[in-house]
Structure 1
């Protein structure tokens, strides 16, 4: 394939431009098909020139994590720590939905080297520390929140792919699934039949907020219990 020549007014190649084009390509082909070769072609350069700026796909994914993380917003309002984290969690979820295969990108490495991701972690640690939680609990609490958000968005995306594959609307799939559950033997599956209307009519916004609320309410109970036990709470 002939390489596209850089136009006279086209910006020079740097990591910023690579990230922008990589995200555009990601939206078109998905993570599995996002290769360094295809990215070089999209940039109109030889692969060797790309590797001069990004050594491999792993580093590319870290750059994408950094870019995506930079879009997550923290509230500047004078609100409670629970409201701050809830607002941040909603922003995190929205940002993940804005980029194709974003959850897989975030899960591509166990230890991130992304500055923007570090900043997100630092901010979350700061909020939990100011709320009074112990240092040895904070990293695991932060991890619980992060894993909940990533897992929830992954489930939303999975459900949407099922809808697209079946060629149905959410309502149509819900009706079919509800009929299947209602046909189950009443003696063996009374609660599945009883709760079927709620199981088959997803309300993602309400479910997401419920999950965050349950997590943070649990953290609040722990904070109060630790205080009652006379432990040192900052």
Structure 2
């Protein structure tokens, strides 16, 4: 029986969780599906096309059902948190998202919702678009770091110890003072802190329009 596109995509996402982005190949996917190498190209002309479909699948529902009554900063924060959860839902999800450009329904819905929120707050089309880019870059970059840190051995302890051992009190007094606050892995509060900084800037931008 011929595989459907949805079956190929679902297996690709599961395989991503199993082996990570570096080991995800069209050949390995075909093997995991039990089909001949090349059979997957009926549905995805290249690995890049497959990665775009995977990123689009991760965004399913991200922009749905935002409460229009809530203040705009709360709606934008909720959208950012949803994007982060979506990217964290799959191994290397943020790297998949960052490496693709896919004007597909879920991605377009995210952009439409985010830009609409900021235009509704009074920002120009340009400022709203660039602000959404900035917010998205923050979410994606932070999530890439989160996912990388999550794979560190022993909860990141050796990495922190290596950093501590490299610091010299005479040359790095500020890093030493901040050592307890350099996370590995990043806690939820770390993401929330950066998100609030961005929102504070956007509030000031909107208020000063």
TM-score tier by shorter-chain length is 0.7 to 0.9
CA shift at 1:57, angstroms? Answer: 0.9
**Do 2:11 and 2:33's aligned partners in 1 also have CA atoms closer than 8 Å?**
yes
Measured in 2, the distance between the counterparts of 1:98 and 1:128 equals 27
Partner of residue 213 from structure 1, selected from 196, 199, 207: 196
CA shift at 1:177, angstroms? Answer: 5.5
Find the counterpart in structure 1 of residue 11 from structure 2: 21
Q: Does 1:44 align with 2:34?
A: yes
Measured in 2, the distance between the counterparts of 1:200 and 1:26 equals 26
Find the counterpart in structure 2 of residue 199 from structure 1: 182
Residues 171-221 of structure 1: CA deviation (Å, up to 9, x unaligned): 6754x358537x732x44332232222225765211111111111110111
Find the counterpart in structure 2 of residue 114 from structure 1: 104
Q: Radius of gyration: which is bigger?
A: 1
**Do 2:73 and 2:199's aligned partners in 1 also have CA atoms closer than 8 Å?**
yes
Find the counterpart in structure 2 of residue 9 from structure 1: none
Find the counterpart in structure 1 of residue 165 from structure 2: 180
Partner of residue 142 from structure 2, selected from 152, 164, 173: 152
Q: Does 1:66 align with 2:40?
A: no
Residues 75-107 of structure 1: CA deviation (Å, up to 9, x unaligned): 533311111111121121122111011122112
Partner of residue 93 from structure 1, selected from 77, 84, 90: 84
Find the counterpart in structure 2 of residue 225 from structure 1: 208
Rate the CA distance shift 1:53–1:222 in 2: closer, same or farther, 3 A: same
Measured in 2, the distance between the counterparts of 1:106 and 1:51 equals 21
Q: Which moved more, 1:187-196 or 1:147-156?
A: 187-196
Find the counterpart in structure 2 of residue 169 from structure 1: 155
Unaligned runs of 5+ in 1: 1-5, 7-11, 227-234
Measured in 2, the distance between the counterparts of 1:55 and 1:66 equals 16
Find the counterpart in structure 1 of residue 94 from structure 2: 103
Q: TM-score, normalised by structure 1?
A: 0.79
Q: TM-score, normalised by structure 2?
A: 0.87
Measured in 2, the distance between the counterparts of 1:49 and 1:199 equals 47
Unaligned runs of 5+ in 2: none
**Do 1:19 and 1:63's aligned partners in 2 also have CA atoms closer than 8 Å?**
yes
